[in-house]
Structure 1
Amino acid sequence: MKIVNREWQRSIELKENIIHTIILENKQYFRECVRSLKLQHQGDEGLFIFSDGLKEISLAKYSYIITDLFNLDINNKKILTKIYTELMKYAVENCIELNTIQTHLLNYYENLIHSSSLELEYRDEFDIMGMLKLADFKINLISNNDLEKLIKYLKVLVELCGIKVIFIVGLHMHYTENEIKQLYKELCINKINIINIENRQYKNLSTVDYTEKVYIFDEENCEI
């Protein structure tokens, strides 16, 4: 898989054990790129092109951007939709268990009607999704460790939502070198592709296990 920007000469090849970091030293250009990338993830046209072989694939559908590492919404609409889709699939496939629940509910409704002095009626169509949403299913993210939260969030995006690459803004600014090394190790083990976007240069954290590939654009927006 590959990501290109129409204004850049270089392309980003997504490969195992390669971490990509883009340095945009011009602050105005940094803001413009991040803003444009966010809008493109919302479905707007943009400069970034995501492809797999010769086929262009949807950036909004198969990639994700994190701009606020202090506010990781692991139970956002995109993720919850996937959760309920998976639960719905399980419920339908296990129809015997579902039919038993439906029978008990309908019997309960009948008992309620008989216990009332009013002439009541009810809808006997069984809404599976409505029943599931009554439970208010969410991913449990109880942890005081910010790095653990981030790792779990990235895993959910890839494993549940089918995200193929994740853009992270300001990772090096908010985490220590040791924390980032630990994160990179987890990413490589779980085959998660990320692209860091930073405003200044940081120490290259390549090890024998992975390579951090850095792309630098200076104050004049020249590729170094």
Structure 2
Amino acid sequence: MKVYIPQIDSTVTCEAGCCQTIVIENQKVWCDILNDLADQSQGAEGKIVLSNEDKVLPMAKHAEMVSQFIPFDMNQKGLITKIVNRMQQRAIGEDYFLKMSTLVAEWEQLLLELSTEMTGHISFSKVNIESLIKAAGVEVENVYDNLGEKLLDYFELVQIYDHNKLFFLINLRSYLSDGEMEEFFEDVQNRGYTVLFIDAMEHPISKREHRIIVDADQCILC
């Protein structure tokens, strides 16, 4: 994937497994870029352009901006929706359809019994396989001792249940030690995730990292 950032008039190539970093020391440029990414992640239009093989991609579908790491909640709405949809697909397959249909019928019968002596004619219009799965409150494990491992597992879940995305990680270096960051870079390379690190200040550079610096005068240093 490629990201054209007009605020610095540069195109950044983000290949799978590549540890590409942009350090932005100019506060106005920093705010402009982050606001642009945040707006586009919510489906609004913006200036920054994401593309792949010369085809422009909608940012909201093909990228995620992560700027909150404490706490970082793996149970993002988009991911949980994808997991629930996958479960629903399996539930209507031949391996589970009979079991699920029986369970739904038993659930409806129980609800009817509960409402028998209640005032009014009570019906249940949403008793089906879909609502039964949603009612379970589907979640993924969200307790980790290591933030880096948590992020990597989240990337894996998105890759499996959704599709390959570009992750913009904002100021992650402020949360991981240099040693932890080196391990994180290595895992990103080995697992082939597509990540663009955006930082507001310089940290010790890794041998695995390719860095672009936009200084206070908006000069670009590679």
Shorter-normalised TM-score: what interval? Answer: 0.7 to 0.9
Assess if the C-alpha contact under 8 Å between 1:61 and 1:163 holds in 2: no
Where does residue 130 of structure 1 map in the other structure?
131
Q: Distance in 1 between matches of 2:114 and 2:52?
A: 57
Partner of residue 101 from structure 1, selected from 68, 79, 103 = 103
Q: Distance in 1 between matches of 2:15 and 2:119?
A: 67
Deviation at 1:107, TM superposition (A): 4.2
Where does residue 59 of structure 2 map in the other structure?
59
**TM-score scaled by structure 1?**
0.86
Q: Distance in 2 between matches of 1:81 and 1:117?
A: 35
Q: Distance in 2 between matches of 1:60 and 1:36?
A: 12
Distance 1:201 1:124, change over 3 A: closer
Where does residue 174 of structure 1 map in the other structure?
175
Stretches of structure 2 lacking an aligned partner (at least 5 in a row): none
Deviation at 1:140, TM superposition (A): 1.2
Q: Which moved more, 1:27-36 or 1:165-174?
A: 27-36
Deviation at 1:121, TM superposition (A): 5.3
Q: Secondary structure at the match of 2:78?
A: helix
Map Cα deviations across residues 34-75 of structure 1 (whole Å, 9 max, x no partner): 122111211222121111112111111110001111121211
Where does residue 71 of structure 2 map in the other structure?
71
Where does residue 159 of structure 1 map in the other structure?
160
Where does residue 194 of structure 2 map in the other structure?
193
Q: Aligned residues, how many? A: 219
Distance 1:98 1:36, change over 3 A: same
Where does residue 48 of structure 1 map in the other structure?
48
Q: Secondary structure at the match of 1:158?
A: helix
Q: Which moved more, 1:47-56 or 1:155-164?
A: 155-164
Assess if the C-alpha contact under 8 Å between 2:17 and 2:191 holds in 1: no
The reply to whether residue 218 of structure 1 matches residue 215 of structure 2 is yes
Q: Distance in 2 between matches of 1:117 and 1:58?
A: 51
Deviation at 1:130, TM superposition (A): 1.6
Q: Distance in 2 between matches of 1:61 and 1:124?
A: 32
Deviation at 1:80, TM superposition (A): 1.8
Deviation at 1:125, TM superposition (A): 6.3
**TM-score scaled by structure 2?**
0.87
Where does residue 81 of structure 1 map in the other structure?
81
